Structure 1
Amino acid sequence: MKFTENSLMKRAEHPEIEVPVLSKAVLEQERKMLLDLGNDITSVRDKNDLLALFSKRIKSLFYFTHTIVTLIDYKDETYTPFLLDDENSPIRAHTLYQQLIKARFSLNEPFIQAVLHTADPISFILEDIMDKPLSPLFLRVNHEEGVQEILMTRLMKEGKPMGFIHIYTDRPGSFTKEFRSVIKGIAPQLSGAVSNILKNEEILNKEKEKSFLLDFSSDIAKVRTKVELAAAVHSSLSKLTDLKAYAIRRINEDGATLSPYIFDPGPIPPDKKEQDRLVNTNFPINDGLQNRVLESNIPLLFNVDREIQRGITSSYLQFWKRMEYKTLAGIRLRNAETNLGILWLAIEEINIQLLQGICSQISIAMANIIANEQVSKKQEEQAFLLDFSHDITQVRTRTELQDAIIRVIDKTMHTKLAMIRVIDEDGFHLSPFMFDRTLFKNAEATFDKMSVNRITIEEPYTSRVLASKEGLVFNVAEEIRDGNAYARLWETTGLKNMYSLPLRAGDKNIGTIWLLANRLSKLMMKGICSQISIAIANIQANEKLLAYKKQLEIENDYLKEQIHTIYNFSEIIGHGVAMQEVYRLVSVVAGTNSTVLVLGETGTGKELIARAIHNTSSRKDKLMVKVNCAALPASLIESELFGHERGAFTGAIDRRIGKFELADHSTLFLDEIGELPLEAQAKLLRVIQEREVERLGGKQTIKVDVRLIAATNRNLEDAVKAGRFREDLFYRLNVFPIQLPSLRERPEDIEPLANFFVARYSRITGRKIKNISPKVLQQLGSYTWPGNVREMEHLIERSVLLTPGDTLQEVYIPRGTTAEKQNPAQLANRSLEEVERSYIIETLQRCAGKISGAGGAAEILQIPGNTLHSKMKKLGIGKADYFLTK
Structure 2
Amino acid sequence: MKRVKDMDPGLSVPSLASLEQERRILSDLGNDITGVRDKNDLIILFSNRIRSLFYFTHTIVTLIDARDETYTPFLLDHKSSPIRSHAIYPELIKAHFSLNESFIQAALRAEEPISFLLEDIMDQPQSPSFLRANYEAGVKEILMTRLMKEGKPMGFIHIYSDKPNSFSIEFRNVIKGIAPQLSGAVSNIIKNEEIIKKEKEKSLLLDFSNGIATVRTKEELALAVRAVLKKINPPGGFVIRKINEDNTTMSPYAYDLTKTHDPKVIDALEQARYPINDGLQDRVLNSAIPLLFKVDREIQRGITSSYLQYWKTMGFKEIVGIRLRNGETNHGILFLDIQEINVQLLQGICSQISIALANIMANEQINKKQEEQAFLLDFSSDVALVKTKLDLQAAIFRVLDKTMHTQLSMIRIIDEDDYNLSAFMYDETLFETAKTHFAELLANRVTVEDAYTAEVLASEDGIVFNIEEELKTGNTYARLWKTTGLKNMYGLPLRVGNKNIGTIWLLADRLSKLMLKGICAQISIAIANIQANEKLLAYKKQLEVENDYLKEQIKTIYNFSEIIGNGEQMQEVYRLMSLVAGTNTTVLILGETGTGKELIARAIHNASPRNDKLMVKVNCAALPANLIESELFGHERGSFTGAIDRRIGKFELANNSTLFLDEVGELPPEAQAKLLRVIQERELERLGGKQTIKVDVRLIAATNRNLEEEVKAGRFRADLYFRLNVFPINLPPLRERLEDIEPLTHFFVKKYSRNTGRKIRKIAPKVIQQLRSYTWPGNVRELEHLIERSILLTTDGILHDVYIPQNTVTDKQELPHLLNHSLEEVERSYIIEILRRCSGKISGPGSAAEILKIPGNTLHSKLKKLAITKKDYFS
**Alignment check: 8 A CA contact 2:386 2:526 kept:** no
Residue 80 (structure 1) aligned to one of 59, 68, 72: 72
Q: Which moved more, 1:25-34 or 1:333-342?
A: 25-34
Mark the CA change 1:299 to 1:3 in structure 2 (over 3 Å): closer, same or farther.
farther
Mark the CA change 1:414 to 1:144 in structure 2 (over 3 Å): closer, same or farther.
farther
Residue 496 (structure 2) aligned to one of 491, 497, 502: 502
Q: 5 Å matches for 1:224-623?
A: 224-241=216-233, 243-266=235-258, 268-269=259-260, 273-274=264-265, 276-386=267-377, 388=379, 401-402=392-393, 404-406=395-397, 408-409=399-400, 411=403, 418-419=410-411, 421=413, 433-435=424-426, 448-450=443-445, 473=460, 498-502=492-496, 514-515=503-504, 521=513, 525-526=517-518, 529-530=521-522
Cα displacement (A) at 1:376: 1.1
Measure, in 2, the Cα distance between the counterparts of 1:115 and 1:136: 13
Cα displacement (A) at 1:126: 2.1
Match of 2:749 in 1: none
Count of residues paired in the alignment: 508
Residue 112 (structure 2) aligned to one of 120, 123, 140: 120
Measure, in 1, the Cα distance between the counterparts of 2:262 and 2:415: 54
Cα displacement (A) at 1:319: 2.6
Match of 1:177 in 2: 169
Q: TM-score w.r.t. structure 1 length?
A: 0.50
Offset from partner CA, 1:797-845 (integer Å, 9 cap, x none): xxxxxxxxxxxxxxxxxxxxxxxxxxxxxxxxxxxxxxxxxxxxxxxxx
Residue 60 (structure 1) aligned to one of 47, 52, 61: 52
Cα displacement (A) at 1:20: 13
Mark the CA change 1:24 to 1:233 in structure 2 (over 3 Å): closer, same or farther.
same
Residue 213 (structure 1) aligned to one of 178, 185, 205: 205
**Alignment check: 8 A CA contact 1:474 1:497 kept:** no
**Alignment check: 8 A CA contact 1:155 1:190 kept:** yes
Match of 1:109 in 2: 101
Q: 5 Å matches for 1:432-831?
A: 433-435=424-426, 448-450=443-445, 473=460, 498-502=492-496, 514-515=503-504, 521=513, 525-526=517-518, 529-530=521-522
**Alignment check: 8 A CA contact 1:3 1:111 kept:** no
Measure, in 1, the Cα distance between the counterparts of 2:204 and 2:80: 35
Offset from partner CA, 1:475-506 (integer Å, 9 cap, x none): 899xxxxxxxxxx99999998974323399xx
Mark the CA change 1:525 to 1:229 in structure 2 (over 3 Å): closer, same or farther.
same
Cα displacement (A) at 1:472: 9.1
Offset from partner CA, 1:137-189 (integer Å, 9 cap, x none): 22222222222221112222233222221111222222112211211222122
Identity percentage over the alignment? 55
Cα displacement (A) at 1:233: 0.6
Cα displacement (A) at 1:395: 8.5
Cα displacement (A) at 1:373: 0.6
The one-letter amino acid of 1:195's match is S
Between structure 1 and structure 2, the one with the greater Rg is: 1
Cα displacement (A) at 1:315: 2.5
The one-letter amino acid of 2:173's match is S
Indicate whether 1:133 and 2:125 are aligned.
yes
Cα displacement (A) at 1:357: 0.3
The one-letter amino acid of 1:35's match is S
Secondary structure of 1:88's match?
coil
The one-letter amino acid of 1:145's match is A
**Alignment check: 8 A CA contact 1:447 1:489 kept:** no
Measure, in 2, the Cα distance between the counterparts of 1:196 and 1:392: 78
Secondary structure of 2:495's match?
strand
Match of 1:719 in 2: none
Match of 2:157 in 1: 165
Measure, in 2, the Cα distance between the counterparts of 1:295 and 1:535: 44
Cα displacement (A) at 1:96: 2.4
Measure, in 1, the Cα distance between the counterparts of 2:330 and 2:231: 26
Measure, in 1, the Cα distance between the counterparts of 2:407 and 2:84: 66
Secondary structure of 1:5's match?
coil
Secondary structure of 2:125's match?
coil
Q: TM-score w.r.t. structure 2 length?
A: 0.50
Cα displacement (A) at 1:272: 5.8
**Alignment check: 8 A CA contact 1:247 1:343 kept:** yes
Secondary structure of 1:247's match?
strand
Secondary structure of 1:324's match?
coil
Match of 1:659 in 2: none
Cα displacement (A) at 1:401: 4.5
**Alignment check: 8 A CA contact 2:244 2:251 kept:** yes
Match of 2:190 in 1: 198
Secondary structure of 1:248's match?
strand
The one-letter amino acid of 2:92's match is L
Match of 2:829 in 1: none
Match of 1:5 in 2: 4
The one-letter amino acid of 1:5's match is V
Measure, in 1, the Cα distance between the counterparts of 2:102 and 2:491: 65
Measure, in 1, the Cα distance between the counterparts of 2:391 and 2:490: 29
Indicate whether 1:151 and 2:143 are aligned.
yes
**Can you give the 5+ residue segments of structure 1 that lack an aligned partner in the other structure?**
12-18, 454-460, 466-470, 478-487, 543-684, 693-886
Match of 2:769 in 1: none
**Alignment check: 8 A CA contact 1:385 1:524 kept:** no
Cα displacement (A) at 1:407: 6.4
Cα displacement (A) at 1:416: 5.1
Measure, in 2, the Cα distance between the counterparts of 1:402 and 1:76: 73
Cα displacement (A) at 1:78: 2.4
Cα displacement (A) at 1:393: 8.8
Mark the CA change 1:310 to 1:402 in structure 2 (over 3 Å): closer, same or farther.
same
Secondary structure of 1:102's match?
coil
Match of 1:742 in 2: none
Cα displacement (A) at 1:525: 3.1
The one-letter amino acid of 1:514's match is T
Let me know the Cα RMSD of the aligned residues. Answer: 4.9
**Alignment check: 8 A CA contact 1:503 1:529 kept:** no
Secondary structure of 2:86's match?
coil
Secondary structure of 1:69's match?
strand
**Alignment check: 8 A CA contact 1:105 1:136 kept:** yes
**Alignment check: 8 A CA contact 1:398 1:539 kept:** no
The one-letter amino acid of 2:83's match is I
**Alignment check: 8 A CA contact 1:10 1:125 kept:** no
